Homo-oligomer: A and B are copies of this chain.
Amino acid sequence: MNTPIRIAINGYGNLGRGVELALAKAPDLALAGIFTRRDPRGLKPETAGAKVFAASELDARRDDIDVLILCGGSKDDLPEQGPALAARFNTVDSFDTHARIPEYFAAVNRAARDGGHSALISCGWDPGLFSLNRVYGEALLPDGDTYTFWGRGVSQGHSEAVHRIPGVAAAVQYTVPSEAAVTAARSGTRPQLTTRDRHTRECFVVLKAGAEPEAVRRAIVTMPHYFDEYDTTVHYISMAEFERDHQAMPHGGFVIRTGATSDTHKQLVEYRIQLDSNPEFTGSVLVAYARAVHRLHAGGHTGALTVLDVPPGLLSPKSADELRRTML
C-alpha cells in the first residue's frame, strides 16, 4: 500500500459527517483533520482518533493536507470559501446552485490557477452523478429526451421554508416523483411533462399552540417558487411523531434518457439511486472524487473542473491495469 492520500474536511454538519464516514471505508485515504468554525472541543466526530481543529488553523496545516473537502452550504459559505480555499488547497465541493455554476466555476478557476491547485466544483449526485448521466444519455442518444426525477426524499430547502411560516414548530418536506410521469418518461413516447406533472410535494408539519391549520396549509401550498407550481399535501403531526418518524434523510431519483436510433428502434437508458442517507451518499461521492483530484493534480492539472472532466477510472483505488483486468 502506498502512502495514504490525506483528506481534510472543512465544515462539520451532516455532509461533513458523511465525508468522515466515507473516508473510514477507503483504505487508501486518511482523514487529515476536521476543521470547524465552532469550538473544536465541542465536536464529537464519528470515528475514533479523528482530529478536530479550528478553521483558523487551516493554513498552518497546509503541508498535512492533499485535498480539502468543503462541506459548507452553497448559499452563504461556498461562494466565499470556494475561491479563497482553492487558492491554497486542492479542493472538492458540492456547490449546487445550478444557475450560478458558471460564475462560481470562473471564480474558483482563477483562484486555483493562480495558486497552482486543482478544484472540483459541484460534486455530489445532482449536480454530480445525475449530471454525468444527463451528458452520457444525450451523447449516446442525441435524438431523444432526458427526464430527471428527484425523490422520494427530504428537501432541506423546502423543509426550512415551511418551518419559517408563523405557527410552524417543526416541518419536513418530501419531494415525490409522480409514478405516472416516471412511467410515461420510460415509455419512449417522449411526453412533454410539466413541473406539476413530474413531482408532488408532501409536508409533515408540527403546529405551535394556537396556530390555525387551514391558514398554515394555505401559506404552504401557495408559496411562490417553492410550492405554488406543485400539488402539495400537508399532514399535521405531533412533535413526538416528528421526532420518531422524520429524522432520517432518505433521498433518491432517476435520470431517464429515451431516444430513437432509427425510424423503428427506441432505446432507454436509466440511472437510479435510492438512498437511506442523502448526506452519507453525497459524502461518499465527494470522497471518491477527492481521490481523482489528487491524482489529476499529481499529473500536472491546475484550475477548476467538474465531474464531466474526470476520467472514471481515477475514482477507483485500483490501477488502470487492474481495472482493465477485473472490471471492464
Interface residues, chain A, with chain B CB atoms under 8 Å away? 18, 21-22, 25-26, 46, 98, 101-102, 105, 122, 127, 129, 131-132, 134-136, 138-143, 261-262, 264-277, 280-281, 283-285, 288, 291, 306-313, 315-317, 320-321, 323-325, 327-328
Contact = CB atoms under 8 A, between A and B. Distances in A.
Contact of A328 (B127, B140, B281): B127
A317 B271 CA distance: 21
Nearest to A252: B268
B267 A280 contact: yes
B288 A327 contact: no
Nearest to A250: B265
B136 A315 contact: yes
Contact of A270 (B264, B271, B280, B307): B271
Contacts of A312: 132, 135-136, 307-308, 310, 312
B262 A267 contact: no
Given A102-B324, A136-B129, A261-B283, A270 B272 contact: yes
Given A25-B142, A142-B26, A328 B272 contact: no
Nearest to A132: B312
Contacts of A311: 308-311
Given A267-B274, A269-B272, 8 more contacts: A101-B328, A102-B321, A102-B325, A127-B328, A139-B291, A267-B275, A308-B328, A311-B311
Nearest to A138: B316
What 5 pairs between A and B have smallest CB-CB spacing?
A308-B313, A139-B315, A261-B280, A265-B276, A265-B277
Contacts of A324: 101-102, 105, 306, 308
A309 B320 contact: yes
A320 B308 CA distance: 8
Contacts of A131: 327-328
A257 to B, nearest CB: 10
A309 B284 CA distance: 21
27 contacts: A25-B142, A25-B143, A26-B142, A101-B324, A101-B325, A101-B328, A122-B328, A129-B136, A135-B313, A136-B312, A138-B327, A140-B285, A142-B317, A261-B283, A262-B280, A265-B275, A265-B276, A267-B273, A267-B277, A268-B272, A270-B270, A270-B274, A272-B272, A308-B323, A308-B328, A309-B320, A310-B311
Nearest to A263: B21
Contacts of A267: 273-277, 280-281, 284
